[in-house]
Structure 1
């Protein structure tokens, strides 16, 4: 006898687990299918910025995620070995596996978890049939595909893939430790590439637990010898493209495994089908360097679970026209477009060479210096004003007594 549910979620990563939490708070029967329990390690998003934290709060996930993450309260911005600005920030660092584990802990107990792999899905306007590799069958009104980069299952449904930019970027992840001091002098640092020919967007360093985590955003082919060098001799390879970095942060070493992750930009096609909806990377990817991937995933899940699924399940049927309303959602479309534009714009700026490219780079650096100088000046004036106010208050009662 087949299992049944109102909603089957295929994939228990960030997108699928978040959807399970939100849909599990409703009266609908929800079943989550994933082959990995606990979730396996992966090199994905490792930091939340304020816009993503706002989305977590909007979805009611902040109480699950933020206690498991490391808060960073100050950001240094630098280039060419010089500090341009210091900002007060609200950022959190967390590796992907602990992130997914934290979200999964918040899945309500009424959501059933099936540890398995989906082999096939059969679709119709009314009922969907999900078949696992062990032969088990699950029926549902709606299937949420949140299985990330796995294209095989989507391909079996006739869903295609349009590649927008092959190997658009390559992200390198590693841990950094100081060798001449107990700790580095900042919570987080964004250090921009020094020369366009190095094909580096920026290096971001941020505290994550007891270590300083590094994500280096590059635009290189997978056959680039430098990527081989960063795995084998990481300190020398990093110094070759950022020779002034040590002058700013002090001597350092790279510890542990160096992870390299290429990112293609693609979007799924032929997606308006009955009974199945795609979220997160299953729908389309983003560039990690642009820092918008988590926004896309969380926006997809929030719009689907808060707006569209309640409407769909309120009436009979699950025809393609219902599913199309999710892909046409204005907030989703705006987030997708913004993410794509950010990916191309950052790459163009980072690789801009020649006189105009160099001039634009220095102009941005000088602009950041000016903002930092103005911000520090205002902070100094505010501090002096507060000191003067306190001094005036102290003098007032004493003079009144005389």
Structure 2
């Protein structure tokens, strides 16, 4: 169960699609219950079809989008109800329900359906709600409503055969909440059969975007409320006298608007280039453009989510700088493998110093990228992660 599935190209959709089709090749019979929407795009998808051997059942939902909290809540509620009904009519005794976390708390409805139909539940936790709502500052999440939602969520954790989390920090939070239910850490992944290093001379985006000879510092994907853009713009301000350094922001998210406004206010337009999400066919090219990537996570979100873009960066053979307070899984990951460095949230001077050093020693940046590939092959490659998922489901 997940709100988005192929042909949708959102991150949760892509990894779910890859896993579902892998399981088909392993002999599993796989069905997906999802919505008829494409993330952030118009159009409505067929109610039933087969994709890559997976039976896809799409339910109708409201389509208010992300314009406001009330509209988003109605979209979530409509998916809860129609997906729950679809699950009740689809499930058979002994089936395994894999419930992701889009929309939040879908595990509650999956738990009820599994209990009613004699099925097994596997929760796939990409993030933790209502804790994230609290970190966002949603007042209602701190009161009685938040307590009720947390209780329902914890019941669904304890009722699962296994709870799959995407990082060790999340496991530390979930384990005491899950009671006797198993908790397994299985990181997300990038499809490293598609994302691979692309040399500058073979990359059409280098010329198209005017990046030749510049040291490109990249940020790719969602720049959301859990990510730190202020440290990035502070570093860029300190580096404004370095025309050889360019900050390339590819993607979208709630932080893009405030970042653009601050760039304009400080007169840093020459230091930044903004591009939209790139099509899947150009993902290897876009991820290979920067000599080093930025990844970030604000401290209040530690253990509640994990920026899995690090695996796509690694597949492209690029090093990274983690803007994150230590200790954290993110800082530990890049530093343990030598695939990057870490700097604290808010330390614009420290980030500027790191970037300037790498811009002056591009061989050092190249070595970070080589170590990223080694890190990926050491245990985070797509095939390795899919095998771990197969083992989790066999055990369930």
State whether TM-score is above 0.5.
no
Structure with the bigger RCO (C-alpha within 8 Å, sep 6+) is 1
Rg: which structure is higher?
Answer: 1
TM-score, with structure 1 as normaliser? 0.33
